[in-house]
């Protein structure tokens, strides 16, 4: 556990680093670091070190940093779209966030929205320019699901007649009661959690808006006060 003195030292160092980054990228992080307890700061450093280690070993991160050559379709500050070097079919593209995260739950909602907005625009174009008949959009999550690289990515696989791409499974008949039981398990655990998370997000947003309004009100107040003097 960090002592208070160590924590202050670490806090100062992190804040200095954050100053060097574009402010729109930093967002609320600066405030979070300013207000974090020693324990929270320690957890933050732990996460950072883990992320750095993962980034160092990750093939996609190496591609993003330009250490491994690749065929790029699109790139901006946050997203990268490349062609798979061992494609399932002609035009097999991979879309990923530049930040190293493995699972969908680790991506910030705004970035995930941007990523899917990009896919929404690219999907029909891919089909059209490649004369494909359809498109498989496939997101493996975990090794067993075929996630070869532990960096979140979406496969866009253009589909052609007899392309021998296989994303199929046996369709088993399931007992209705068993379906009900499964649904109940998911509903009980997941839905209440999701609703809670959405409410938390909403609260955060409202707090942010309130703070912003207060800031504006203070600005106006100062302005009026100055004019009075």
Residues that bind Zn ion (CB under 5 A): 58, 60-61, 100, 151
Residues 6+ apart with CB under 8 A from 99: 78, 107, 111
In the complex, what is the shortest distance from the CB of residue 119 to Zn ion, in angstroms, rounded to a whole number? 19
Q: Which is nearer to Zn ion, 64 or 157 (CB)?
A: 64
Q: Which is nearer to Zn ion, 94 or 135 (CB)?
A: 94
Q: Which is nearer to Zn ion, 14 or 61 (CB)?
A: 61
In the complex, what is the shortest distance from the CB of residue 151 to Zn ion, in angstroms, rounded to a whole number? 3
In the complex, what is the shortest distance from the CB of residue 58 to Zn ion, in angstroms, rounded to a whole number? 3
Q: Which is nearer to Zn ion, 132 or 154 (CB)?
A: 154
In the complex, what is the shortest distance from the CB of residue 184 to Zn ion, in angstroms, rounded to a whole number? 37
Q: What string of DSSP letters covers the chain?
A: ---HHHHHHHHHHHHHHHHHS-HHHHTTHHHHHHH--HHHHHHHHHHHHHHHHHHHH-HHHHHHTTSS---EEEE-SSEEEEE-SS-SSTT-EEEEESS---SGGGS-HHHHHHHHHHHHHHHHHHHHHTT-SEEEEE---SGGGT--SSS--EEEEEE-TT-------------HHHHHHHHHHHIIIIIHHHHHHHHHHHHHHHHHHHHHHHHHHHHHHHHHHHHH-
Q: Which is nearer to Zn ion, 81 or 135 (CB)?
A: 81
Give the residue from 102, 106, 186 showing the smallest Cα distance to 145: 102
In the complex, what is the shortest distance from the CB of residue 55 to Zn ion, in angstroms, rounded to a whole number? 6
In the complex, what is the shortest distance from the CB of residue 74 to Zn ion, in angstroms, rounded to a whole number? 18
Q: Which is nearer to Zn ion, 61 or 82 (CB)?
A: 61
């Amino acid at each position: 556990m960090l002592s208070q003195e160590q924590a202050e030292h670490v806090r100062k160092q992190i804040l200095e680093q954050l100053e060097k980054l574009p402010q729109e990228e930093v967002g609320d992080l600066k405030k979070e670091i300013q207000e974090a307890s020693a324990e929270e700061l320690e957890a933050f450093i732990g996460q950072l070190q883990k992320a750095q280690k993962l980034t160092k070993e990750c093939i996609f991160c190496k591609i993003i940093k330009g250490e491994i050559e690749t065929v790029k379709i699109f790139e901006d500050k946050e997203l990268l779209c490349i062609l798979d070097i061992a494609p399932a079919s002609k035009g097999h593209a991979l879309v990923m966030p530049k930040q190293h995260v493995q699972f969908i739950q680790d991506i910030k909602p705004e970035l995930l929205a941007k990523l899917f907005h990009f896919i929404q625009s690219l999907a029909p174009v891919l089909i059209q320019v490649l004369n494909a008949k359809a498109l498989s959009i496939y997101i493996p999550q975990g090794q067993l699901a075929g996630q070869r690289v532990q960096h979140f990515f979406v496969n866009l696989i253009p589909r052609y007649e007899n392309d021998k791409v296989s994303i199929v499974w046996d369709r088993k008949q399931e007992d209705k009661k068993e379906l009900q039981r499964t649904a109940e398990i998911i509903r009980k655990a997941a839905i209440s959690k999701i609703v809670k998370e959405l409410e938390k997000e909403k609260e955060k947003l409202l707090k942010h808006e309130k703070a912003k309004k207060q800031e504006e009100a203070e600005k106006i107040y100062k302005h009026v006060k100055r004019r009075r003097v």
